[in-house]
Homo-oligomer: A and B are copies of this chain.
Amino acid sequence: MKKVQPRTLPGFMELLPNEQIVFNDIKEKIQKSYERFGFLPLDTPIIEDAEVLLAKAGGETEKQIYRFNKGENDLALRFDLTVPLAKYVSEYYGELSFPFKRYQIGKVYRGEKAQAGRYREFYQCDVDIIGDGELSIIHDAEIPSIIYTTFKELGFEKFTIHINNRKILNGIFDEIGSTDKSTDILRIIDKIEKIGAEKVQEELTELGIAKNEIETIMNFIKISGTNTEKIETLRQLGIKSEIFNTGLNELEQVTKLIKVCGVPEKNFEIDLTIARGLDYYTGTVYETFLDDYKKLGSVCSGGRYENLAEYYTDKRLPGVGISIGLTRFFYQARKEGLIKSEKTSISKVLVLPMTDNLEKCMEIASKLRNAKINTEIYLEDKKIKSKFKYADKLNIPFAVVIGDDEIANDKVTLKNMTTGEQETLPIEEVINRILIEE
């Protein structure tokens, strides 16, 4: 028979089982953290009607979209979880309770140029809180505590949540009279970590911003000090713009409340350089950096938007949310050796029958499983060495060996695969020992 070369498309992450176990462990920890704050699960389709999905999209995103026809239908694969959320909230508005807090963890699709660390299929892990007409700013302060809890749960200690407020930036442009170019200016400022201050100035000049205006902008984004000092310096700029002062008040309030929400001061800071390129953010914005691995870029970002679903509904639906790009994060963190998952196997126990009395072996496996211990039984007719090698390769921590001697004494032999120690014990004792280890 002619063979087809088995292969996986470039840009699609496919893991070996031992890596998948770790990936799933991380995904589950993110999910548990989100649920800890009471977010409800959603699972919207991956395929949507192209007209619905692309109601708002444009530019780069549209080019990247997987769009195709099936019969007479013009279909597209979702490229994020925010547009499906907007659709969902508009579609089921009458049946939801507000504030509507939902999380969604799922794959999204973008036909990016294939290169290391860039994925065409990747997981996003989103939480959003959507208000009906209005949404208290306290939620803006709750978001960092969700980021904090999640990254602590993932085993990280040294990370900083950067916050800013888009109104402050817009207010500055208002003041210098460049409101029409604000989106472009924000996009340039956003790159300062990557390209440096000089290049930012250059690009602003190219954009046609006057020298003294660039100076105002550069002075503004250079403001340093503690959070309180930054707020103080901003106040002292004496900017009249109403939007600026609204933003400043919001930032001050959010900064205070973040502490109240239990995030230690060392884990968050005001960062006037972050803008988040996306034009739907209108207030607080977030980025999160691992202190010792800033080059990874932001590992969790988001912000406040005034109107989630204006393309679908007249209802005003303000919201605030964040997203973790899990696939890229996993790729990068693994490369840097940052992933310390204690979970390395599915099975806790490999039962090794060394007898023809399979019934007894199955009975023992059942007892282990009934005690909620993941248990595999080796059923192939192989040499004992191969059987232990299988346990080793799969990182299974315990082997339970059952021979005729053990059965005669109503015991089993427990072998600790890490230390090599072994001991013959009643099964109940084995179960206790394994449960204690957990």
Contacts and interface: CB of A to CB of B under 8 A. Distances in A.
A260 B99 contact: no
A198 to B, nearest CB: 37
Contacts of A39: 346
B363 A262 contact: yes
Contact of A394 (B41, B97, B369): B97
Interface string A65-89: 0101111010100000000001110
Contacts of A376: 37-38, 101
Interface in A326-371: 346-347, 350, 358-359, 362-363, 366, 369
A138 B358 contact: yes
Given A41-B17, A91-B7, A102-B17, A70 B75 contact: no
A43 B20 contact: yes
A380 B132 CA distance: 11
Nearest to A310: B1
Interface stretch (A49-57, A199-207, A399-407): A49-57
A38 B91 contact: no
Nearest to A38: B376
Contacts of A99: 379-380
Interface stretch (A8-16, A189-197, A227-235, A415-423): A8-16
25 contacts: A3-B311, A4-B52, A4-B312, A5-B52, A5-B312, A6-B52, A6-B312, A6-B313, A8-B91, A9-B45, A9-B49, A14-B43, A14-B88, A17-B96, A20-B42, A20-B43, A24-B41, A38-B347, A38-B375, A40-B346, A40-B394, A45-B121, A46-B107, A99-B380, A149-B369
A101 B260 CA distance: 48
Contacts of A427: none
A296 interface: no
A142 B379 contact: yes
A302 interface: no
Contacts of A20: 40-43
A379 to B, nearest CB: 4
A47 interface: yes
A176 interface: no
A92 B358 contact: no
Contacts of A139: 379
Given A9-B49, A260-B358, A313-B6, A38 B379 contact: no
Nearest to A111: B70
B44 A136 contact: no
A262 B314 CA distance: 59
A245 interface: no
Contact of A313 (B3, B366, B381): B3
Contacts of A87: 6-8
A372 B153 CA distance: 12
Contacts of A120: 47
A385 interface: no
Interface in A126-151: 131, 135-136, 138-139, 142, 145, 149
Contacts of A49: 7, 9
